[in-house]
Structure 1
Amino acid sequence: MELLHRALLSALGALSVFYALVKVSLGYWKRRGILHEKPKFFWGNIKGVANGKQHVQEALQDIYTAYKGRGAPFVGFYAWLKPFVLVLDLKLVHQILFTDAGHFTSRGLYNNASEEPLSGNLLQLDGHKWRTLHAKCAEVFTPSNVQKLLPTLAQISKKIQSHLGKEILQTRNISDLVNVYNKDVMASMVFGLGHGQDNQEFAKWTRSYWGDFKLWQAYLALEFPLIARLLQYRSYARPATAYFEKLVLSQLQEQRRRDRQPLQTLLQLYSNADQPLGDVQIAAQAFGSLLAGFVPLNVTLGFCLYELALQPDIQDRARAEIRKTLQQHGGHLTPEGLRELTYTKQVLNETLRLHTPHPFLLRRATKDFELPRSVFVIARGNNVLIPTAAIHRDPEIYENPERFDPDRFAESAKQPRPPAAFLPFGEGLRGCIAARFAEQQLLVGLVALLQHHRFAPCAETAIPMEYDKKRLLLMPKTDIRLSVELVK
C-alpha cells in the first residue's frame, strides 16, 4: 500500500511539473506583451494540423487573415510548445529577407554532420559553417553555369513525349508523369547517373529516404539539438544516406577519369569550382537538392497542368507561344528562346503563387532586431515564420486570389506590387541558391509537355483540388489524373 501511495505521489508530481512547464512555455508571448492567438494546452495553435483536420497552410492563413491590419507587424504563434513570430507586414518581410537579413541568417533546423554527413547541406546548416559553404556553392549556380546545363536538360525532357507515346487520346496519371521527368533530371544532373544506367534503386530511395520518420522525434531534435546529437538521432534512413553518399563518391571518381567530358552535371560544377568542396560535402549538397527540390518541382508541374486543363484558353495561348518560339529557333530550346517564353513563365509563376509548395519560410533571429520607428522587438533566438502561401492569397495584394490568372505576372501588373509579395523560392541570403536551375527545369518540362499534347479534365479528375492535410508541403490529396490528347 505504501509503495502504491509513493507511486501515485510520484506520478502526481511528474504531472504537476509537466503542467507547469507547458503553462510557462505557452505563456511566452503573454509575458512579452505581444499580440497572439490564444494557444490550446500542449497543442499551441496547431491542434487541427496535428490531428490531420487542417493543413498547416490553412492554420497560418487563418491567423494571418484574423490579425493582419490590427496594427502589429507580427503576431505570436505556437507550434506545440514552441513560440514563433508570424510576420504579417510585407515591409517587415522585406527587412528580414533583404535590408536586415544579417539578423536572420539562421533557420534553426537540426543537423548532425559528424554522424550524418549528408545533413551538412546548405538547407540545414547555420552559422559559420553555412556562410563558408554558401560562399563556395554560390559560384556553382551562376546564370552562365545554369545556361550551360540547358542542352542536357532539354535532352532529358524529350523522354516525356516518348512516355506519352503516339496515342491520340488517353487518360494519364499526371503526378507519375512529372515524377518520371524530375526524377530523371535529379538522377542525371544532380547525382551524375548516366542516361543508360539503371536508376531503379535511385527511384526507390527518393521515395523512402525518410525511413521510419516520427514527427515527435523530429520536433524534440529541433527543440533539444544537443541532446539529439548526444543520442545520435538521425533524420534520415541510414541505408538511404549510405546509398546517396556512395553514389556521388563513385560518380565523382568516374568523372575524374574522364576529365575532358562535356559539362552535363552539377557534380562537375562543384568539383571544378575555384573553391571546390570535399567529395562528402558535394554529396551533402546533392542530397540537399533532393530534400528541397524534388517534391516541390513535382507538385508544381502537376498543379500547373491541372490548372491549364481547367482553362483551355490559357493552355492554348501558352502552347502557341511555345511552338512559335521553337520554330524561330530551329526546333531547339536555346537560352534566347527560353527568355522569349514570357507568357509560359507567367503560367508557372501563377501556379507557384496559387499552389505554393512551401507554405512558409523559416528564419531564426541571431541577434535582437528592433523594428525601425516601432516599439516591437524580435528577440535573439526567436523563430520567425513568413507565411508565403497566405501572402500569395492575400486579396489586398492579388485581386480575387483563388482565380488562376497568369496575367498577374505581366510586367505592368507586377510593378505596383511590393517586392516581397511573391516568394516561391524564398529570397535574400537564405533564399534557394538553385532557384534559377529550378525555374529552368520547370520551364523546359512544361515546354515538352505542352508542345504536342493537350490536357483536359476527365472522369477521374478531382475537382475542386484538395490538399493532403498530413503533409507539410502543399500536395494534392490524390494523384492528378487528366485526359491527354495528341495534337499536331
Structure 2
Amino acid sequence: MSLVLTLIALLVSLLLFAARRRHGYWQRRGIPHDVPHPVYGNIKDWPKKRHIGKIFRDYYLKYKSSDYPFAGFYFFFSRTAVITDLELVKRVMIKDFNHFENRGIFYNEIDDPLSASLFSIEGQKWRHLRHKLTPTFTSGKMKNMFPIIVKVGEEMDSIFSAKTTAGQGQILEVVDLVARYTSDVIGNCAFGLNCNSLQDPKAEFVSMGKKAIIERRYGGLLDFLIFGFPKLARRLRLKVNVQEVEDFYTGIVRSTIDHRLKTKEKRNDFMDSLIEMYQKEQAGNTEDGLSFNEILAQAFIFFLAGFETSSTTMGFALYELALNQDIQDQLRAEINEVLAKHNNEFTYEGLKEMKYVEQVIMETLRKYPVLAHLTRMTQTDFSPEDPKQFIAKGTVVVVPALGIHYDPEIYPEPEKFKPERFTDEAIAARPSCTWLPFGDGPRNCIGLRFGLLQSCVGLAYLIRGYKFTVCPETQIPIKMVVKNVLLSAENGIHLTVEKLSK
C-alpha cells in the first residue's frame, strides 16, 4: 500500500511540475502576461463569468501599450499569443500566412464528418477545398441566388405584417423571427428546400440549427479536451456534434442529392455547385470533385454560419436602430429613395445602391462581431527580423477582433453606433485588418458576400415596412450568453414593432 501511495504521490508531483513548467513559458521569455491559474490558465472566467471574446478584448486593451507586439496567455495548458500590434495582425493574417495557415481547432473527418468543414480542416486538404469552393461565391452566383433571398424576404415581411398593427406597437422578440428568415434563405440556397421556418416557429431546420450551436456531444464534460487539445481529442475519436444533428443533416443532404440527380433539377443555388463536384468525384475525378462527406460538411457549415451569424447580426442591428431613431429614419429614407427608382421592387442593382444599409450592417458587425476572436496555429517557428516578434511552432495565436473593434485609437468613441465609420473615405483612412468580423487574408470567410447580402436584404425589408423602438422588456445594455463561443444576446432582443403605412 505504501508503494502505491508513493507512486501516486510521484505521479501527482510530476504532473504538477509539468503544469508549472508549461505555465512558466512566457515568464521565461520575459513576455508580459497575467499569472495563470494552475488548471485553467488565463481562461478561468469562461464559460461561467465572462464571454471568451470579452476576455481577449480586455487582454488586448490591457497590453496593447506594452513594448511587445503580443501578450502571453494560457488556454488551460496551451500556450497562446494574443496579438496586440496591428502590423503583426497583418503579418499573421496576410503577409506571413504560410506560418499561420491553420486554425488549430478540432475536427474529425472520420468519426464526425460534419466537423471537417472548410472552416476547420488544415493543410493541403484545406487549400484544395478552398480552391474548389471559391467559384461558388462569385458575384454572378450571388446574383443568381438573389431572387431566392428576395422571395423569403417578402415572406418575412408578411409574417411581421400579420403580427403588427399600423399606429400601434407590438412587443416582439426579433432575433427568433429573423432567425427563421435566415433559416429559410439558407435552407433554400444550401439544400434547395422550403424549410417553412417563417410559417412554423417549431420548424425542424430552426430547432436543429439551434441544437447544432448550443448542444454539446458529451454535455460539455469533454470540452476542455476538444477545445484545449484538439489533436488528442481526434485520436480519442471524440465527436463535437450530437447524433440527432448528424443524422438530420446527413439525411437532408443525401435526399437532396438523390432528388436532384434523379430529376436533373437546377436551382442556381449552392447545392447545384456542390452536386457538380460530387458528380466529378463519382466519375473518378478526385482532383476537382468532392466526396459525399465533404459535401455534407460544407452544406452543414454553410447553413450553420449563414443561419446564426446573419440572424444575430440583424437582431443587433435592429437593437441599435431602435436606440438611434435618427439613424433608423435616415436608413428608411435611403431604402425608399432607391426602391422608388426601381419600380418599388428589390433588385440586385438597387441593393448595391443602398450604401447606408451596408454601412449599418458593417457598424453592427464592428460592435458585435459574431465570432469575436480569431485563432491560428503557428506551423513553423515564426522568426522575423525583430526577435520580439518570435512565435514558436505550436503556439496558438489569437487575433482579438472585439478588442481591435473597441480600440478608441482606431474607432473613436467605440461604444457609439456610427455607420459613417464605413464610408469609402473612412475605410481608406484606417489601417488594414481593423475590421475583422469575417477574418482577413487567404483564410477569411468564403461566404462573406452572401452573409452581407442576406443581412442587407432582410434589414431593408424590415426598416422599409416597420418602425422599431425600445420597450420595457428591452435589455439595455445587452447581456451576452457567456458560455457560447459566438456572440448572442441573452434571452433574445425584445423591441416594440409598429407597422408603417406604405
If the length of structure 2 is used for normalisation, what is the TM-score?
Answer: 0.91
The answer as to 2:208 corresponding to 1:185 is no
What is the deviation of 1:218? Answer: 3.0
Query: Structure 1 CA distance, aligned partners of 2:53 and 2:233?
Result: 28
What is the deviation of 1:195? Answer: 5.8
What is the deviation of 1:229? Answer: 3.3
Which of 56, 63, 83 aligns to 2:59? It is: 63
What is the deviation of 1:6? Answer: 4.8
Which of 261, 273, 290 aligns to 1:277? It is: 290
Query: Structure 2 CA distance, aligned partners of 1:433 and 1:190?
Result: 14
The answer as to 2:91 corresponding to 1:95 is yes
What is the deviation of 1:413? Answer: 1.7
The answer as to 2:469 corresponding to 1:456 is yes
The answer as to 2:30 corresponding to 1:33 is yes
State the partner residue of 1:118. 114
State the partner residue of 2:454. 441
How big is each residue's C-alpha offset from its partner over 1:325-369, in whole Å with a ceiling of 9 and x where there is no partner? 112112222221111110111111110001111110111111222
Aligned 8 A contact 1:221 1:228 in 2: yes
Query: Structure 1 CA distance, aligned partners of 2:495 and 2:227?
Result: 40
The answer as to 2:71 corresponding to 1:75 is yes
Query: Structure 1 CA distance, aligned partners of 2:459 and 2:189?
Result: 18
Task: Give the counterpart letter for 1:162 in structure 2.
Answer: S
Query: Structure 2 CA distance, aligned partners of 1:165 and 1:375?
Result: 59
Aligned 8 A contact 1:138 1:433 in 2: yes
Secondary structure at the residue paired with 2:80? strand
Secondary structure at the residue paired with 2:15? helix
Q: Which moved more, 1:427-436 or 1:231-240?
A: 231-240
Aligned 8 A contact 1:461 1:480 in 2: yes
Aligned 8 A contact 1:156 1:184 in 2: yes
The answer as to 2:500 corresponding to 1:487 is yes
Task: Give the counterpart letter for 1:206 in structure 2.
Answer: G
Query: Structure 1 CA distance, aligned partners of 2:301 and 2:180?
Result: 19
What is the deviation of 1:457? Answer: 0.6
Secondary structure at the residue paired with 1:401? coil
Aligned 8 A contact 1:110 1:221 in 2: yes
The answer as to 2:160 corresponding to 1:164 is yes
What is the deviation of 1:261? Answer: 3.2
How big is each residue's C-alpha offset from its partner over 1:229-282, in whole Å with a ceiling of 9 and x where there is no partner? 34321111122112201211210121223325342x210122235834223311
For structure 1, the residue ranges without an aligned partner over 5 or more in a row are: none
Aligned 8 A contact 1:108 1:222 in 2: no
Query: Structure 2 CA distance, aligned partners of 1:450 and 1:420?
Result: 30
State the partner residue of 1:362. 375
Alignment of 1:88-487 (within 5 A): 88-166=84-162, 167-168=165-166, 169-194=169-194, 200-209=203-212, 210-263=215-268, 265-272=269-276, 275-487=288-500
For structure 2, the residue ranges without an aligned partner over 5 or more in a row are: 281-287
Query: Structure 2 CA distance, aligned partners of 1:107 and 1:293?
Result: 20
Identity %: 34
Query: Structure 2 CA distance, aligned partners of 1:392 and 1:280?
Result: 37
How big is each residue's C-alpha offset from its partner over 1:97-146, in whole Å with a ceiling of 9 and x where there is no partner? 11111211101111111122222210110011111111111111112111
Note closer, same or farther for the CA distance 1:213–1:185 as it changes in structure 2 (3 Å cut): farther
Query: Structure 1 CA distance, aligned partners of 2:26 and 2:388?
Result: 15
How big is each residue's C-alpha offset from its partner over 1:385-432, in whole Å with a ceiling of 9 and x where there is no partner? 000000000000010100011111112222210011111100111110
Query: Structure 2 CA distance, aligned partners of 1:435 and 1:224?
Result: 29
Q: Which moved more, 1:195-204 or 1:301-310?
A: 195-204
Note closer, same or farther for the CA distance 1:15–1:268 as it changes in structure 2 (3 Å cut): same
Query: Structure 1 CA distance, aligned partners of 2:190 and 2:357?
Result: 25
Extract structure 1 runs of 4+ deviating beyond 6 A.
196-199
Query: Structure 2 CA distance, aligned partners of 1:255 and 1:114?
Result: 26
Aligned 8 A contact 1:249 1:280 in 2: no
Note closer, same or farther for the CA distance 1:442–1:144 as it changes in structure 2 (3 Å cut): same
Query: Structure 2 CA distance, aligned partners of 1:134 and 1:343?
Result: 31
If the length of structure 1 is used for normalisation, what is the TM-score?
Answer: 0.94
